[in-house]
Amino acid sequence: MSAELDEIDHAILEILKKDSRKSFTEIGSQLNLSEGAIRRRVKSLIERGVIKAFTIEIERGHHVRAFTFLSVDPSVPTPKVADALTKIAGVETVYEITGEYDAVALISVPSMQELNKCIEAIRNIEGIRDTNTIMILRQLRGS
């Protein structure tokens, strides 16, 4: 996909990653291009599937974040486990991964007590063989 993107496309994406509300006029001004040129390029990025969504990040007041790595019993399909995980309060996102573990869950909760409850609920899901939880101390770079 990156072979299809030129320097201007990359610059537009970087600007939008930092502030997806930035107007085409503002982006054009930064890149010395017209509003119409930016509009056409963004439309093309959307049509080609490079830009999948414009989203917002909500402050949830959650101060405890962690990744829980999961080993899944081979007799239980990982998507079935992932479906059960997404129903647990505090589980934000679940990824199927390669390596020592089969999946990882991003957890965001207001307290250590809630994190412990969440991990206990995860451990009680049918098919979970093992977990390894890693606390997030701070985010170093936004996406």
Count of all residues that appear for the chain in the document: 143
Q: Do 67 and 133 meet the contact criterion of CB atoms below 8 Å apart?
A: yes
Residue spans of the chain under pLDDT 70: 1-3, 57-62, 142-143
Antiparallel, parallel or unpaired: β 64-72 and 128-135: antiparallel
Phi and psi at residue 16, in whole multiples of 5°? Answer: -70, -30
Residue with tokens 């093992």: 130
Q: Which structural domains are found in the chain, ordered by start?
A: 2-47 (1.10.10.10), 64-135 (3.30.70.920)
Q: Do 45 and 13 meet the contact criterion of CB atoms below 8 Å apart?
A: yes
pLDDT at 139: 79
pLDDT at 2: 45
pLDDT at 140: 80
pLDDT at 62: 60
